Amino acid sequence: MSKYDIIVLGSGPGGYVTAIRASQLGFKTAIVEKESLGGVCLNWGCIPTKALLKSAQVFEYLKHAEDYGLKVKDAEHDFDAVVQRSRGVADGMSKGVQFLMKKNKIDVIEGFGKLKPGKKVDVDGTEYSADSIIIATGARSRELPSLPQDGKKVIGYREAMTLKKQPKKMIVVGSGAIGVEFAYFYNSMGTEVTIVEYLPNVVPVEDIDVSKQLEKSFKKTGINIMTSAEVTSVDTSGKGVKATVKTSKGEEVLEADIILSAVGIKTNIENIGLEDVGIVVDRDKIIVNDFYQTNIPGYYAIGDVTPGPALAHVASAEGILCVEKLAGQHVEALDYGNIPGCTYCSPEIASVGLTEKQAKDKGLDIKVGKFPFSASGKASAGGNKDGFVKVIFDAKYGEWLGCHMIGAGVTDMIAEAVLGRKLETTGHEVLKAIHPHPTMSEAVMEAVAAAYDEVIHL
């Protein structure tokens, strides 16, 4: 039986990052993967979707070339080539992880891993042991009883990335990050898209102003949006698919070629031996302490299988923290109140910290500032004037409570707010930090200025 210091179960952005950091810290490390290195994120999630969205953005530019004083005749798209480019990007990233495994002398064990008592992992009949086992098996598309996925007419995100033929009509159920990203992509490609959202607003976890702006921007591009609506049943017996949607006005039947179910995720915790070991699970999540140890010594869990936000960058941070603690380093528990969320539709969305409503619900005395990109020189020059930056500060101490952005490139801007909050920056300090002009990022400074009644360009 092969013996390791650490075995990581799963090679997504939680698992492979954990394995690399463990190796850097001197641990003899192995990683178990049943499919492709990089997990869902690199192969079927974060990376290939961004490739699809980039193709959509370029196509949008071509269609609106005259807005920039350019002439492009009969711009067309090759749907299959767009999909193949996305797969090529994903394959390249997966090969990059393979290289990193070799570079860091990490043993890759291919197959389905199952936990065993006594700190062992069985991989398709072969047993391996370790001092510590870290579970990083991630999650998959969640299925609703009223919306069973058949992989053909009712699909999840995985099938949405590799359709052989572009649908003429698509219904997207759920308006979280996955739902709105695919809605934008397919709408840009020319598919007639309808979003059905159960809650009153699209992207419901975001600040209400962001939700309203996205709905406005999406409707402008021709996306049909139904909020406070629920798909109660689907009929796939005909050529396409029919969805019965319940709204406050009654029931309505929508017809489409395909329904994309984007109603959240389900953790991959079945049949991996949790019951055999005695690891406690609550509501589909493995219960861990601040440093990701389960109730059974020697077994740890990170990423989507734990109660924290199901985000790639969270899984990576948790894994690094976990192995650094195992190495005896002095580490602080992760601050889950300062984790950025990003959505890559167009306009993009990025946020961190409290929304305005959350701050008010806490009874905080706040200062709120908002700066629209319509007043930004860089946004005007780039033809991307939709959206804004919104900031929330504690009125008494100047603490940066939250930052919410919607607009072009804002996913690359949110780190300023994350770092500022980590360093306990005050509104006054942000205001006095010189931001370059003309940039989209100076909208952050302008929004802070608006909060303190010092805004110049509005």
Q: Report the distance separating Cα 152 and Cα 383, nearest Å.
A: 38
Catalytic residue among 313, 330, 428, 437: 437
Beta strands in 264-415 (DSSP E): 265-267, 281-282, 285-286, 299-301, 341-343, 348-353, 366-372, 388-394, 400-407
Q: Are the C-beta atoms of 253 and 245 separated by less than 8 Å?
A: yes
Q: How far is CA 248 from the centre of its chain?
A: 30
Place of tokens 């090759």: 78
- Tell me which DSSP letter residue 146 carries: T
- Among 5, 26, 62, 8, smallest CA distance to 305 is for 8
Measure the CA–CA gap between 216 and 190, rounded to whole angstroms: 19
Nearest-angstrom CA–CA distance, 141 and 157: 7
Q: Are 352 and 391 in contact (CB under 8 A)?
A: no
Is residue 437 annotated as part of the catalytic site, yes or no? yes
Q: How many Å separate Cα 80 from the centre of its chain?
A: 25
Q: Please provide the size of the chain in residues.
A: 458
User: Do the bridges between strand 113-116 and strand 120-123 make them parallel or antiparallel, or are there none, so unpaired?
Assistant: antiparallel
Structure-token pair, residue 52: 């699809």
Q: At CA 371, angle to CA 367 and CA 372, rounded to 5?
A: 145
Among all residues, which ones are annotated catalytic?
437
